[in-house]
Structure 1
Amino acid sequence: MTSTAIPANRADVEAARLLLNRMGISIADLQCEQPTPKPVPTFEQYVEVVSAAVSDSSRRAYGSYWKRALTKWAGRPLDDIKASEIESLVEEVKATRVLRSNGRGGHGSAENMIAALRCLYRRAVADGYVTEAQNPALKVAKPKRLQSTRRALADARLAEVNAIAGTTGDDPALDALLIRLHTETACRRGGALALTVDDLDEEQCLILLREKGGTSRWQPVSPTLMRHLRQHADERCPEGSVQLLRYRDGRPVTRRRYDHIWVRLARHLPWVAKQKVSTHWLRHTTLTWVERNFGFAVAREFAGHAEGGNDAGSTTTYVRATIHELAAAVAAMTGEPHPLAT
């Protein structure tokens, strides 16, 4: 059976030509060969690319999850992975997770697995290897984040933490300094570990905190804490060194030191072990106190939260606290006058 072409109506031809002219397309454009599609890399090839492109913190957070995905899909192209396969991998990660004392049924592992794949596929979309509609990681729902069990410590409990940290262990001076630093500034671990010798403004009692998201801010500290930070730098930082916080032998402190502190505190304080208290509880403690005594705007600035968040609407853009107000909060908290407090 043969088919015969239906002759085009003259008016249709003229309408098509007019439409092409308006779109800036010529007959030659329609006749030219279509470009060869860009080859889609395999999962293994692209994980290497993304790992080199992300920040150190993202690499630490997602690296182990990318490795887990490689055990399944190393040689497969990115556009070959289905949403159902991601869901299956997420369930496998939950079932085979490392059981920790503060675990919550694998909820965090599932959330991190999906976040790691979304990070990878977001860049694949930007690089043109898949379209937004083809992104399988967006088709898998993230588990709803559970409410945090962290809370502010009572004054008596905080005093116990300071007492044990400053009188036990192989380096109580370092541990006491770390606890006080986090209590006064509500900084994150990353901010403390990123401190350099040049980040101390002794005249104005300020330290420069560099934290997640590439943010940085000058944070007021008490004269006592500044004095101890300066002494620590003079005694432990070799000439030409960058990181401020160090062991007695000059080695820079890492995140492992925090694990060591809280394992020791848990041995001495049963409530620390039972409630799985960590350094982040100190941040909750300080920010709760600041909010109760100096208001939300000061607490928000004290926490170093970026502008543009949806924590309290757009009004927060216009009611930022000043560094003098932060200094006043530190002075009230520590009972010491601060040069910038008003």
Structure 2
Amino acid sequence: MSTADLEAARLLLQRLDVRPEDLLTIPSTVIIPTFREYVPQVIDAAPAGARRTYLPYWHKLSSRWPDRSIADPTGLELQQLVEHTRRHAIVRRNSREGRSAAEHMVGAIRRLYRHAVASQYIPASRNPAAALDKPRRQRSSRRALSAHQLTQINHVAATTGDDPDLDTLLLRLHLETACRTGSALRLRPEDIDPDHCQIRLFGKGGTIHWQPISPTLTTRLLHHGSRGDDPTQQLLRYRHGRPITRRRYDHLWERLGRHLPWITTHQITTHWLRHTTLTWVERHYGYAIARAFAAHAEPTGQDGATLTYVQATNAEIATAVAELTGEPHPLATPDDTLTDLPFGSIF
């Protein structure tokens, strides 16, 4: 091929707005799907947590451009959609001017186009979602609650509502274990170890760990399990046996807020109990045990390298639970610590 031919080809590609790498990454036989066709595929490929978070935003994409190819929207159009989502976000009591809605829309768009690039519908160099502006996450307003506030919350939960036993059990479960709502809803009767006072919790990212709990909470969970008849199914249930959902938590805090206005003012939710417990554990037992108590993922980076050598044991977590609840724990061994090792005799 002559130099003139190469130059002509180069000019033609330029006029068609086609890059040479596009010819290598997109087979000419590929038919790029529409949003109506592709969004259901993305939903099917998403894990449960991502599906719960991004489902409304994927539906927005599908309803906005049902018959458009996923390769059609420009980066500007996608950014306009993000801003539209921010401005028209549903105003809730914990809303922050639509920042969360905009953040989720960006996440939903990026995940969809990540799949599109992996499927070779779009070359990575032409990904319109790559340059989207994601709102910076503001510092959380959550903090640890005081003992007086916890006493008020538990009193109202125990003296109001249609199922005080369930509500006070939820509060104690989250306060003792610092678990997330999703972990509590996945708890089953077979996840209780009554001999060692532990429960198996399923956390974010597919994590599984055994969390020590007090004998009192163990007994209450076992008794509550009688509301169901299958040890492999959800433990937390209403009196009539139907499993609870996240709506039970919403109704609980709405009711508590009617009796304790400061709950509504500060937008307090179940996650505040997690902050409360982990703050107490960190103050009394240090960061390593607090991180293990929270069942956070393994740290990365330079700072995380040190934490791989100072991982907390289950016995140390049980010791923290024993002091937190004022009850002895079968796994707690407060005298069996590194500080008690006879280093002098070793050297």
User: Secondary structure, in 3 states, of the residue corresponding to 2:209?
Assistant: strand
Deviations 1:2-26 (A, max 9, x none): xx968xxxxxxxxxxxxxxxxxxxx
Aligned to 1:142: 134
TM-score (structure 1 length as normaliser): 0.88
Return structure 1 stretches of 4+ with deviation > 3 angstroms.
308-312
Does residue 1:326 correspond to 2:293, yes or no?
Answer: no
Equivalent position of 1:45 in the other structure = 37
CA distance in 2: counterparts of 1:241 and 1:322, whole angstroms: 28
Q: Which runs of 5+ in 2 are unaligned?
A: 4-25, 334-347
Distance in 2, Cα, partners of 1:148 & 1:106: 15
The alpha carbon displacement at 1:123 in A equals: 1.3
Q: Which amino acid aligns with 1:196?
A: R
Please give the alpha-carbon distance, in whole angstroms, between the structure 2 residues aligned to 1:229 and 1:52. 34
TM-superposed CA distance for 1:313, in Å, is 2.8
Shift of 1:35: 5.3
Counterpart CA distance in 2 for 1:300 and 1:287 is: 8
- 1:289-327 residue CA offsets vs partner (Å, 9 max, x unmatched): 000000000000000101134594322222110000000
Q: Determine which of 115, 124, 131 is the counterpart of 1:132.
A: 124
Is contact 2:57-2:104 (8 Å) kept? Answer: yes
* AA in 2 matched with 1:258: Y
More deviation, 199-208/50-59: 50-59
Distance 1:5 1:280 in 2: 69
Counterpart of 2:257 in structure 1 is: 266
Secondary structure of the structure 1 residue equivalent to 2:130: helix
Q: Identify the residue that residue 179 of structure 1 maps to in structure 2.
A: 171
Instruction: Let me know the Cα RMSD of the aligned residues.
Output: 1.8
Residue 317, structure 1, aligned to residue 314, structure 2: no
Select 1:70's aligned residue among 59, 62, 72: 62
TM-score, structure 2 as length reference: 0.86
- What is the rounded CA distance, in whole Å, between the counterparts of 1:176 and 1:77 in structure 2? 51
Alignment of 1:121-270 (within 5 A): 121-234=113-226, 236-239=227-230, 242-270=233-261
Whose radius of gyration is greater, 1 or 2?
1
Give the aligned partner of residue 56 of structure 1.
Answer: 48
Say whether 1:339 aligns with 2:330.
Answer: yes
Residues in 2 aligned to 1:119 and 1:169: alpha-carbon distance in whole angstroms = 41
| Letter matched to residue 113 of structure 2 | Y
Please point out which of 93, 98, 101 is paired with 2:93: 101
Residue by residue, what CA displacement relative to the aligned partner does 1:209-255 show, whole Å, maximum 9, x if unpaired? 00121111100000000000001112x01246611111110000110
Structure 1 unmatched ranges of 5 or more: 7-33
- Describe the SS at the equivalent of 2:296: coil
Match of 1:279 among 257, 270, 273: 270
Match of 1:116 in 2: 108
- Specify the code of the residue in structure 2 equivalent to 1:169: G
- How many aligned residue pairs are there? 312
TM-superposed deviation, 1:138: 1.7
Q: Which amino acid aligns with 1:181?
A: L
For 1:313 and 1:320, how far apart are their aligned partners in 2?
Answer: 11
